[in-house]
Amino acid sequence: MKKRNLFFNVFDLKHFAAFTLAEVLITLGVIGVVAALTLPGVIADYQKKQTVEQLKVAKSTLEQGFRLMLATEGVDSLADTEFVKSFKGTAYEGGGLETPEATPILKKYFPGIDIVETSDRLSQLKEYYSDSNYFGANWNLPDWFFPNGFAVNIIVKKTPYTGPIDCDTIKAKGGAYCSLMVGGWNYLYIDVNGIKGPNRHGADVFYFVLTENGMLYPTHDSNWSIFNTGEPATAWYIYSNPDRLCPDGAVASAHGSNYAACAARIIHDGWQIKYNWKGAKKVL
């Protein structure tokens, strides 16, 4: 009896059924439909996670720099630092354009920082952002650009700002700060990806305050509410007022929507973006 070649029989393609062209096309079509349905969601989730990670990096970088400034100079308040004492006026604003003396000081604590120092550079930024709807006014264009991609607009007061509530009440209510270097009507804006789009509040631009001890807190969190009202959840001041603060989509109230509490909402939700960030618009 003739011996069979088992190896050949196992791998002989003639023993396997083939797919027809129609079956292949149907399969590819199904894969295409599934991809079309799921890919946008996957991309959106990735973009949200990337935005949150960039926001964490930006917040941490700024806090580390200011805390290093305090530790190096051996002071407890930013008001007593060489940086703040270099101000000729009542505040630091306009980056190095208006306060050039502060630039070399900042570069010691924020390696690689690029600070706007010329009118030509400022004009270029104004021209760029005029079409992108970035901010509602030129005075809050970004002044600081960091090597890891984020940008900051900051107006630092020479004299710390204290709100209407006394410090004892703030502490009793659990508030995190009694005075601010950046606060009141001025905020610290973080654009997590610099000049890249979409350049919208609540999408890639977020609001913070800066305390005397170099820490950043989002505006309109419970600390902000306590600082301004003495209560941790006053409706207008807290992120939980969705019609006004960081709404889902383009929700408008009698006062308009402004996304000022989106950083607070992200942090409150466990460093996640759970609102409809694509609806974010500029703040006027």
Asked if residues 273 and 48 have their Cβ atoms less than 8 Å apart, the reply is yes
Which of 201-210, 215-224, 246-255 is predicted least confidently? Answer: 246-255
The answer to the question of residue 16 being in a domain is: no
Q: Is the pLDDT of residue 250 over 50?
A: no
For the ranges 11-20, 102-111, 119-128, which has the lowest average pLDDT? 11-20
Is 90 among the domain residues?
yes
Kindly state the average pLDDT of the residues 62-73: 98
- Write the CA distances from 217 to 29, 89, 121, 176, 202, integer angstroms: 49, 25, 30, 9, 16
Split at pLDDT 50, 70, 90, the class of 80 is very high
189 within 8 A of 140, measured Cβ to Cβ: yes
Q: Looking at the domain assignment, is residue 5 inside a domain?
A: no
Closest CA to 65 of 49, 78, 52, 51: 78
Q: Assess contact for 120 and 130: CB atoms under 8 A.
A: no
- Determine the Cα–Cα distance for residues 155 and 124; give it in Å rounded to an integer: 20
Q: How many domains does the chain have?
A: 1
What is 125-146 written as a DSSP string? Answer: HHHHHHHHT--SSGGGS--EE-
3-state secondary structure of 191: strand
**Whole domain around residue 177: which residue ranges?**
21-279
- Is residue 166 assigned to a domain? yes
Q: Is residue 121 assigned to a domain? A: yes
**Quick one: pLDDT at residue 242?**
56
Residue 248: pLDDT band (50, 70, 90) is low
Residue 8, pLDDT > 80, answer no
**What is the pLDDT confidence band of residue 45, given thresholds at 50, 70 and 90?**
confident
Q: Establish if 179 belongs to a structural domain.
A: yes
- Most confident by average pLDDT, 91-95, 105-109, 182-186, 221-225: 105-109
Average pLDDT, the chain: 81
Residue 65 in any domain: the answer is yes
- Amino acid, single-letter form, for residue 257: S
Q: How does residue 212 score in pLDDT terms, banded at 50, 70 and 90?
A: very high
Q: What is the DSSP letter of 10?
A: H
Give the Cα-Cα-Cα angle 89, 90, 95 (nearest 5 degrees): 70
Q: Is residue 284 part of a domain?
A: no
Overall average pLDDT of the 92-97 stretch: 86
